[in-house]
Amino acid sequence: MGTTLITQEELRARIAELGRQISNDCVSQGVTLVGILRGSFVFLADLIRAISPEIPIEVDFMSVSSYGDATTTSGTVHIEKDLGVSVSGKHVIIVEDIVDTGLTLLHVYNILSERGAKSLRVATLLEKPGNSKYNRPLDYVGFKIPDKFVVGFGLDYAQRYRNLPDIRVLDEI
């Protein structure tokens, strides 16, 4: 169902490139990957296996929900599931499935920054165009996509379709 936007082969090749880039950038230091649940778990699972085994890697997950206005950066953030590891003094890469308004990312960035991460970078599988409230550069971007609602490869519509092996645009939502 739906129309394929990014094929399995394209995903595989691009994630391998991102893994190589991260391996080069982190060669002299360890890295802590923080996956934002739930959408990022498929991307993260592939990404860690594309990072050189010589690099010490820690993985953890967190889940946040934000209430309020998507058009402003105000609004409150609620941590639904917190990290089990400390990020203080560590090199952290936040792993997202998709950056749309950028609000989720902004909130997570601020939380991890306040907790004293030594460096904070962002890897996102997908980036939608337009008015992201996260106005720092995205360090590792898999694909820029049009402003359409996509599912698959971890991304859901009402909790469905996360198991599709590629990224698709649903015909009717």
Q: Which does 155 bind (CB under 5 to 8 A by kind): Mg ion, ligand IMP, none?
A: ligand IMP
Tokens (6 digits) for 53:
């085994």
Residue 101 lies near ligand IMP (rule: CB under 6 A) = yes
Looking only at residues 26 through 45 of this chain, which bind ligand IMP when binding is defined by CB under 6 A? 39
Strand order in the sheet with 167-169: 3-6, 167-169, 150-151
User: Of 132, 158, 161, 156, which Cα lies nearest the Cα of 144?
Assistant: 132
User: Of 69, 18, 14, 63, which Cα lies nearest the Cα of 41?
Assistant: 63
| Strand positions, DSSP E, the chain | 3-6, 31-36, 57-66, 77-81, 91-99, 119-127, 140-144, 150-151, 167-169
| DSSP 3-state of 82 | coil
Residue from 2, 19, 35, 102 in contact with ligand IMP (CB under 6 A): 102
CA 16 to chain centre: 16
- Asked whether the beta carbons of 98 and 127 are under 8 A apart, the reply is yes
Q: Which residues pair with 95 in a beta bridge?
A: 35, 123
Looking only at residues 28 through 87 of this chain, which bind Mg ion when binding is defined by CB under 5 A? 39
Q: Is 166 a catalytic residue?
A: no
Considering beta carbons, is residue 39 or 152 the nearer one to Mg ion?
Answer: 39
Considering beta carbons, is residue 15 or 138 the nearer one to ligand IMP?
Answer: 138
Q: Which does 123 bind (CB under 5 to 8 A by kind): ligand IMP, Mg ion, none?
A: none
Residue from 93, 98, 108, 167 in contact with ligand IMP (CB under 6 A): 98
Tell me which of 25, 60, 100, 166 is the catalytic residue: 100
- Cβ of residue 97: shortest distance to ligand IMP, in angstroms? 5
Interface with Mg ion (CB under 5 A), residue total: 1
Residue from 155, 164, 167, 168 in contact with ligand IMP (CB under 6 A): 155
Binding region for ligand IMP (CB under 6 A): 39, 96-105, 149-151, 155
Binding region for Mg ion (CB under 5 A): 39
Catalytic residues: 100
